[in-house]
């Protein structure tokens, strides 16, 4: 397996489809249907931002997955102390290659990049119903330190 930084937005957009389709399936009220041309444009724009990184996983020159992460610098302010983290936006492995160690390999690669940049904190979030993501990140030792909750309002609530 080969893991390398890529700017190939075409490949990343294609590899994004499985994870995007999963989000659409789990949360159809929140996610638009996958549109390859629109997704390519989004990734093309993101790749111009030097804080965003895209790792391409290949086996025998075949693209089998990717990871998208960002170096985030949180500024010190009266509410919170400043810090820097590696924020993982997405990891996607093609279905035929799941549960074969590719995800773990890309996580280890991200950890090494963070350490080389002097960053000791990896952050991420995942959608609550995505049980495979929850299990994967738990296996990698991720802990909850904040929860994001919501309430859907209806018209029968008085002002």
Kindly list the structural domains of the chain, giving each domain's residue range(s) and its CATH number in brackets, ordered by start. Answer: 2-139 (3.40.630.30)
Render pLDDT for 11-63 as a digit per residue (tens, 0 to 9): 999 999 999 999 999 999 999 999 999 999 999 999 999 999 999 999 999 99
Residue 141 Ramachandran class (φ > 0 left, ψ -120 to 50 alpha, else beta): left
Q: Is the dihedral of CA 60, 63, 69, 70 positive or negative?
A: positive
Ramachandran angles phi, psi of 106, nearest 5°? -70, -35
Cβ neighbours of residue 141 under 8 Å, at least 6 residues apart?
A: none
pLDDT digits over 62-95, tens only? 999 999 999 999 999 999 999 999 999 999 999 9
Q: Count CB-CB contacts under 10 A for residue 5.
A: 10
- Full-model pTM: 0.90
For the chain, counts of helices (H) and of strands (E): 4, 5
H or E stretch including 93? strand 83-93
Parallel, antiparallel or unpaired: strands 83-93 and 122-124? parallel
């Amino acid at each position: 397996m080969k893991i390398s930084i890529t700017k190939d937005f075409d490949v990343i957009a294609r590899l994004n489809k499985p994870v995007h389709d999963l989000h659409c399936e789990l949360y159809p009220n929140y996610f638009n249907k996958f549109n390859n041309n629109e997704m390519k444009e989004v990734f093309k724009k993101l790749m111009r931002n030097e804080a965003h990184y895209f790792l391409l996983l290949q086996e025998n020159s075949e693209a089998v997955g990717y990871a998208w992460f960002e170096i985030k610098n949180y500024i010190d302010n009266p509410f919170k102390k400043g810090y820097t983290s590696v924020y993982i936006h997405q990891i996607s492995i093609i279905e035929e290659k799941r549960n074969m160690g590719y995800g773990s390999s890309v996580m280890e690669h991200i950890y090494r990049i963070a350490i080389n940049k002097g960053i000791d904190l990896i952050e991420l979030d995942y959608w609550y119903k995505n049980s495979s993501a929850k299990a994967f990140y738990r296996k990698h030792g991720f802990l909850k330190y904040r929860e994001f909750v919501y309430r859907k309002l209806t018209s029968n609530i008085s002002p």
